[in-house]
Amino acid sequence: MDEQQIRQIIRDEITKQSYQTGKPNLQPHSHDGVNSPRINYNDNSSGNSSSGLLTFNKSTTYTINTNIAPKSISIYGAVLKDSTHKGMVVGNAQLGKGYTFADGTGTTSTSLGLPTQKIIQCSTNLYLDLSTVTNTNLNLGNGYLVRVKDLGTPRVNVATAQVTSFGNGFVTIAVSLASGWEIDGAYMVT
């Protein structure tokens, strides 16, 4: 097989569109406002969202006001006490309506009524205790937007945040912090 035959095989494969190249296939056009390609904004937009920075520095309930009806909230941040006690946290809560089911008989379950507000949330964190390395841990916080646990004795949550309610234009978060701790981060509501 010579080089020309190999090149022809490659051209044939590319024209079958089984491979994408970096050069887009655009029809000839001019930018005169008449025959320009039309691009729909919704095809290139992730939709409505609200984002910002937050600091939770006391145990209380916080309300994040948004300009949308929230479907999810994500947080990317840190938990801090001092230079030897800190951590990184990533959390997400999915917000919507859902059904509650009860065990039925055998392999069935029974719906307990109409859909109700549901919040499914989970977080993960890396907690660093530089004074006692054995307390350093990677943790999963099922049921929490943020949960950081100190593995000392006793094992305690040093920072938690849970979405407790949501509605058109707001998300409510209950925060619990051990003495001296705070949660700092960026959030995005979609």
Give domain status of residue 12, yes or no: no
Whole-angstrom Cα distance, residue 152 to residue 142?
Answer: 20
For residue 181, give its domain range. 47-189
User: Side by side, which strands form the sheet with 182-189?
Assistant: 50-56, 182-189, 72-82, 85-98, 116-129, 137-142
Give domain status of residue 24, yes or no: no
Give domain status of residue 53, yes or no: yes
Give domain status of residue 51, yes or no: yes
Q: How many Å separate Cα 162 from the centre of its chain?
A: 14
Q: What are φ and ψ of residue 11, in 5° steps?
A: -60, -40
Give domain status of residue 37, yes or no: no
pTM: 0.68
Q: How many Å separate Cα 60 from the centre of its chain?
A: 23
pLDDT at 27: 60
pLDDT digits (tens, 9 = 90+) for 167-179: 999 999 999 999 9
Give domain status of residue 11, yes or no: no
Name the stretches of the chain with pLDDT < 50.
Answer: 18-19, 21
Give domain status of residue 94, yes or no: yes
pLDDT at 19: 47
Give domain status of residue 147, yes or no: yes
pLDDT at 18: 47
pLDDT at 63: 96
Which of 90, 100, 75, 94 has the alpha carbon at shortest distance from 166? 94
**Domains held by the chain: number:** 1
Residues in Cβ contact with 139 at an 8 Å cutoff, skipping those fewer than 6 apart: 124, 125, 126, 127, 147, 148, 149
CATH code assigned at 144: 2.60.40
Whole-angstrom Cα distance, residue 115 to residue 98?
Answer: 5
Whole-angstrom Cα distance, residue 77 to residue 2?
Answer: 58
- Examine residue 24 and say whether the peptide bond preceding it is cis (omega within 30 degrees of 0): no
On whether the CB atoms of residues 150 and 135 are closer than 8 A, the answer is yes
